[in-house]
Amino acid sequence: MFDIFIDTHFAGAHHLRDYPGDCEKPHGHNWKVRVTVRATSVDQYGMGIDFKVLKKIVKHAIDKLDHKDLNTLPYFEKQNPSSEHIAEFLFADIKEELTSDSYQLYSVRVLETDTQGLTYYGPQN
C-alpha cells in the first residue's frame, strides 16, 4: 500500500454567513492543500500514480477556487465556504477525475494557516 501526495495552494476570499465573529466579514486566505492518493500496487514504471497525472487533476480542481470570492461560486451558495466545505468540494471534484483500479483518492487536507486545518477522507459508507 502506498500513500502518494502532492501539496499545492490557492488564494481566495470568503466570509462565513451568520457567523458570530470576525469571520462573518469578507477576508482572504492563502490555503494550503495536500491531496493524497492510496495505491494498492505500482504500474510498469514502478509508480502508484504518476505525479504529473495527479498534479494535472488537482490543478483543474484548484483553478476553480483560486483568486475567487468563494461565496459567489455555485457550490457555496447555500453553505458556507468553510475549510471543511472546501475540502469536500475538492475531494468530490478530484475523485471524479481519478479513474483506476489500482489507486483511489484517500484524503484532502486543507490549511487556512500554517497552524490550523483539517483532513477530509470522503463520505463514509
Q: 45-97 pLDDT, tens per residue? A: 999 999 999 999 999 999 999 999 999 999 999 999 999 999 999 999 999 99
Please identify every residue annotated as catalytic. 23, 67, 112
Cell 490555503, located at residue: 31
pLDDT > 90? residue 120: yes
46 sits in the region (left: phi over 0; alpha: psi -120 to 50; else beta) called left
Q: How confident is the model at residue 125 (pLDDT cuts 50, 70, 90)?
A: low
Q: Which fold has domain 2-120?
A: Tetrahydropterin Synthase; Chain A (3.30.479)
| pTM score of the predicted model | 0.94
Q: Are 86 and 110 in contact (CB under 8 A)?
A: yes
Q: What is the pLDDT of residue 123?
A: 87
Residue-wise DSSP of 41-71 = S--TTS-SS-HHHHHHHHHHHHTTTTTEEGG
Q: What is the pLDDT of residue 9?
A: 98
Report domain extents, the chain: 2-120
Q: What is the pLDDT of residue 37?
A: 98
The H or E element that residue 120 is part of is strand 116-120
Positive or negative: CA dihedral 11, 54, 99, 118: negative
Q: What is the pLDDT of residue 101?
A: 87
